[in-house]
Amino acid sequence: MSEINENGITLNYEVSGKGPATLVFVHGSYIDQTYWKKQVSDFKNHYQVITLDLPGHGKSGRNRKDWKIQRFADDLIFLIKKLELANVILIGHSAAGNICLMTAVKYPGPVIGLIGIDTFKNAGTPMTPELKKQAADIKKGLLIDFAGTNEKYARTALLRPSTADHIVKKVIRDYRNAYPPMGIQTTAEFFEIDKMERELLPRLIIKLYLINVDYMPTNEAALTQLTGSGYRLDLLNGTCHFPMLEHPDEMNPALRQNINMIEKDAANLT
């Protein structure tokens, strides 16, 4: 593990392997870079692989009062610049799909690809009145019982009764132990993330690649309408929001195929 300091906050990251492209794996809300363990071991022999803990997560710092999502994208850009990375393929799980989208639009130079893992399932689509009511209840619950509200959300929205026990235990532990000041702010912003997606997806100058799990459908009509450079969707069979843990033997080949296509597209542009 390595650390760099960004304006008083520590970013914890790890670099593995070498190769012509750099794969930057970015975890979703409340979890950390350890979720990518099986992807790192599979890809480090052919690529430079970087994982990191976003601020407020894992071993990175918490010395921040402003937890806006754009700050996470700025953290990612800082890391890319500090390590002088080139030929970057951003791989973002869940909310990190949005963080990687912000990064790719704001700092497109070194980024040749963007792969989302179980994300953009209802891209740019405002919540229904029923979902807005649920979101309001969750925001209130986070202020009263942060850990309990997070566990309930994870069990009802991200996991299923058939999800393996070791995955359930890991996810519930991390969701319950998340850093409240960060979680309260980012959760409220993510409930309105459709606005950002409607603004930025049309501005994405590279194709969007998605590997989603079929426990919840993906709204392809929205993706067709919004993605400026098109998209590709691979569907995995699974019971939960965490295919990197549940089915790495299926996710990694799909990921490899997408990486190969991104590299081919990048080579055709040079």
Phi–psi pair at 53, nearest 5 degrees: -95, 120
Domain of 37, CATH number, reads 3.40.50.1820
Task: Please write the tens of the pLDDT for every residue from 89-114.
Answer: 999 999 999 999 999 999 999 999 99
Phi–psi pair at 233, nearest 5 degrees: -120, 125
Say whether pLDDT at 168 is over 70: yes
**Arithmetic mean of pLDDT over the chain:** 96
Please provide the DSSP assignment of 64-104 as one string: -S---HHHHHHHHHHHHHHTT--SEEEEEETHHHHHHHHHH
Task: Answer yes or no: is 97 within a domain.
Answer: yes
**pLDDT band for position 270 (cuts 50, 70, 90):** low
Mean pLDDT of 163-176: 98
In whole angstroms, what separates CA 54 from the centre of its chain?
10
Say whether pLDDT at 160 is over 80: yes
pLDDT of residue 7: 78
> 236: domain range?
2-125+192-269
Say whether pLDDT at 6 is over 90: no
CB 121 within 8 A of CB 127: no
- The number of folded domains in the chain is 1
Say whether pLDDT at 268 is over 90: no
Interatomic CA distance for residues 226 and 201, integer angstroms: 6
Task: Please write the tens of the pLDDT for every residue from 27-54.
Answer: 999 999 999 999 999 999 999 999 999 9
Task: Answer yes or no: is 131 within a domain.
Answer: no
CB 113 within 8 A of CB 120: no
Task: Answer yes or no: is 86 within a domain.
Answer: yes
Q: Residue 72 carries which side chain, given as an amino acid letter?
A: F
Task: Answer yes or no: is 48 within a domain.
Answer: yes
**Residue labelled with tokens 């999502």:** 69
Task: Answer yes or no: is 175 within a domain.
Answer: no
Task: Answer yes or no: is 21 within a domain.
Answer: yes
Say whether pLDDT at 17 is over 80: yes
Helices 180-190 and 146-153 cross at an angle (nearest 10°) of: 50
pLDDT of residue 164: 97
Task: Answer yes or no: is 148 within a domain.
Answer: no
Task: Please write the tens of the pLDDT for every residue from 207-252.
Answer: 999 999 999 999 999 999 999 999 999 999 999 999 999 999 999 9
pLDDT of residue 1: 76
Task: Answer yes or no: is 59 within a domain.
Answer: yes
**Residue labelled with tokens 């850009």:** 77
